[in-house]
Chains A and B, each alone.
Chain A
């Protein structure tokens, strides 16, 4: 029992989360038909939320936005035409509806995949270029200021290498 408890990740909701949850429950109760429709339509988003291991779960947002975009026309139709659970279920169970909604969610996945790939590539290229710029700058600094600018040599109070101390030996009289 203790082991089970240990392995479990407890995601404690803060006060804010609890209030939001409460509000969501209240809203869903009031707009039960929309809630039922969205429960079915937003399944790809829920799955993505579960599967997404990234920080902040931004992938889920991408899928979620397009998933919702795909479901919205139908939701609007339900709200404006017949805001009942039966009508919601009829709309939700139509193959075309599911296809459109789920296609939108799939588009979200696609956008995510494509954009992340492109951006990551660009950033890697940028990073490598930056490395090259840094190398050049270091070389420029060394050329202008000498090895002592690297901070790898022991320097005296005036910033000159200690090996120059050899010329600071006692003056001959």
Chain B
């Protein structure tokens, strides 16, 4: 039963609304040894509670404002916590599971960075089987049944009804509930890391036991049933037969003999519990008991016998490989992962092919092996051909195995968590990138006909991831795929290493805080941040992606500003003055792109005042105002023409004044002629008048 993403409503439920101090407001950082989650919960940084640690994730004492004591589990960014299940787990009424109080981001003073925490009621008591003790408790049947099994089964029924998978059922995660005699056994938490992260491999079915804890992907309810079985077995046995065995050897035996047979080899106990164990420890999930069958068994009903192990292919002749005589393809698949060089040579040899075709003589495996070779050749016979063929051959021989490629072992639905682990620990991601690029999942899904998971949707998802991988632009590539495949992963950008950013709004708040403390004016976006935004909320970034990836810095700067403005407006965030001021410096080349110096200064002043208020939308609108730019350009062209014209006029006039000795003479002559003409006219008129009025001038 796959986990579903749920909206995180822990803030609504508990009123705890920490964005992880130090806040972007003027509130001061918390004192050195206390941090707060929301308004109600204090967490004591100097009071660890190691007995409540969840694996390597540490527990610290906490207290509600009412005085009630709790404990907080600190999460790691790269171990993606199951934050989306918080509200569902909080709604469980069962008293045999630790009760969640709140969850959110806090500022952790000892490390001066934000951490995600889950806060639980401190009602667990002490572990009934601490990890540092031999894993055996020799509990009597009655106590095991009434004190452990019954409450756990009831709890699991409630979990199943709520469509929840716990993923942390194990002996070391059971607590006494501050009672004796196991009157109130309590199951611990499992939200603080990826599903089944803290489960030792013996608590996992074979196919998931091969995988590192961070790469197991989603767990199913059937996995919880299996884990219940191993828990019961651990609690009932007198000693731990596996304490000195290597994990590899344990797995080898499980593959060869079956989990139930191997686990109970040393078990002297017989009795009704063995029937339960046979049912719940079945290696085939389809044959494994469901919770109803467990309940029916507890009610004393006789259940129809399950089929034994599905008859598996067995070769008529053993293959000698690495000093082992291998008869079964599953065993061969398991052994091939240990020495890649030898493995690659072996599977490409004629001897191996002959063994598959003639000794195994299994049509399905023969056909699948042929398909594996064809499939591996699609991307050419380059340096990685051998690794691709090896991975596909392993799947061919043992369909249920995870994808084993180079140094990676991962279930398809765990690839996202794997990527988070690799990026979060700054490890080499080349193998991960090749896994996507060569669509190794596609071949796996072809063979995984009877998988519990939704194979079709996985296949489609990874086809999309393969397309993403090819594009090297911001928002795509390996980092883009990380957030595409693991939507719950917080942003793992090195820029934000001290922050827990789980949404675009958190990103802005983190940048606001960062800018308030540093003089950051560059590097607001990197491959992680772009990929994170694409994964979390495409709408805030998709429209500007082309601009963001533009060859021209001005265009990309403007696109970034618009993206941040988008986020602020969609998230209805209050003003972000520090970020705005930093962005103002970042986009200063854009503010130079006005011809009119007066207008430029005016716009700069307006931009500064907008930045004071921290309104990115207004800032973006100011920078993008096409009307202003158009009019600026038009006026500039006019000015250009005017300058040209007056410069020419100057040259001409200056030349005239310097070289023309008779400058102005032409006009002078004209005026003199006019004056003379006027005078002559007057004289003529006067003379004529005098001549004819007075009978002559003379």
Contact = CB atoms under 8 A, between A and B. Distances in A.
Nearest to B560: A171
Interface string B547-564: 011111111100000000
A72 B683 contact: yes
Contacts of A122: 664
Contacts of A158: 593, 633
A111 B672 contact: yes
B92 to A, nearest CB: 46
A21 interface: no
Contacts of A86: none
B671 interface: yes
B679 interface: yes
B636 interface: yes
A167 B553 contact: yes
Nearest to A80: B691
B560 to A, nearest CB: 10
A171 B639 contact: no
A99 B146 CA distance: 155
A69 B596 contact: no
A121 B636 contact: no
A72 B670 contact: no
Contacts of B639: 141, 144-145, 149
A167 B688 contact: no
Contacts of A72: 680, 683-684, 687
Interface stretch (A6-14, A22-30, A32-40, A56-64): A56-64
Given A127-B653, A138-B646, A151-B640, A119 B667 contact: yes
B527 A61 contact: no
Given A118-B668, A141-B642, A61 B677 contact: yes
Interface string B565-595: 0000000000000000000000001001101
Contacts of B696: 77, 80-81
B551 A69 contact: no
Contact of B643 (A58, A65, A121, A151): A151
B656 A146 contact: no
Nearest to B682: A69
Given A76-B688, A135-B650, A167-B589, A145 B677 contact: no
A143 B640 CA distance: 13
Interface residues of A, number: 61
Given A112-B676, A121-B664, A167-B554, A145 B596 contact: yes
A120 to B, nearest CB: 3
A173 interface: yes
A20 interface: no
B668 A117 contact: yes
A68 interface: yes
A96 to B, nearest CB: 11
Question: By CB atoms of chain A within 10 A, which of B551, B595, B670, B672 has the most?
Answer: B672
A5 B170 CA distance: 129
A115 B672 contact: yes
A171 B680 contact: no
A143 to B, nearest CB: 7
B554 A76 contact: no
Interface in B576-618: 589, 592-593, 595-598
B673 A76 contact: no
A151 B472 CA distance: 41
Nearest to B592: A164
Nearest to A55: B666
A127 B553 CA distance: 49
Given A69-B684, A76-B691, A134-B649, A144 B597 contact: yes
A142 B667 CA distance: 34
A170 B557 CA distance: 12
B643 to A, nearest CB: 5
A158 B639 CA distance: 14
A159 B592 CA distance: 12
A65 B680 contact: yes
Say what secondary structure dominates the interface of chain A: helix
B676 A173 contact: no
B673 A124 contact: no
B647 interface: yes
Interface residues of B, number: 61
Contacts of B670: 58
B473 interface: yes
A66 interface: yes
Contact of B669 (A54, A65, A114, A171): A54
B104 to A, nearest CB: 33
B657 interface: yes
Contacts of B677: 61, 65
A76 to B, nearest CB: 5
Contacts of A169: 552-553
B644 A69 contact: no
B595 A146 contact: yes
Interface in A123-150: 123-124, 127-128, 130-131, 134-135, 137-138, 141, 143-146, 148-150
A109 B674 CA distance: 13
A108 interface: yes
Contact of A171 (B556, B644, B697): B556
A116 B550 CA distance: 68
B650 A108 contact: no
B654 A131 contact: yes
Contacts of B675: 62, 111, 115
B321 interface: no
A123 B662 CA distance: 11
Nearest to A173: B474
Contacts of A117: 668
B612 to A, nearest CB: 25
A64 B643 CA distance: 45
B673 A116 contact: no
Nearest to A104: B683
B657 A134 contact: no
A16 interface: no
Contacts of B668: 115-120, 123
A65 B473 contact: no
Given A65-B676, A65-B677, A144-B596, 14 more contacts: A58-B666, A61-B676, A73-B691, A73-B697, A76-B691, A77-B698, A117-B668, A118-B668, A127-B657, A130-B649, A141-B642, A144-B639, A146-B597, A160-B593
15 contacts: A73-B683, A73-B687, A81-B696, A119-B664, A119-B672, A120-B664, A127-B657, A130-B649, A130-B653, A131-B657, A134-B647, A134-B653, A145-B596, A171-B555, A173-B474
Interface of B: 472-474, 527, 548-556, 589, 592-593, 595-598, 633, 636-637, 639-640, 642-644, 646-647, 649-650, 653-654, 656-657, 662-673, 675-677, 679-680, 683-684, 687-688, 691, 696-698
Which are the 3 A-B pairs with shortest beta-carbon distances?
A: A116-B668, A123-B664, A120-B664
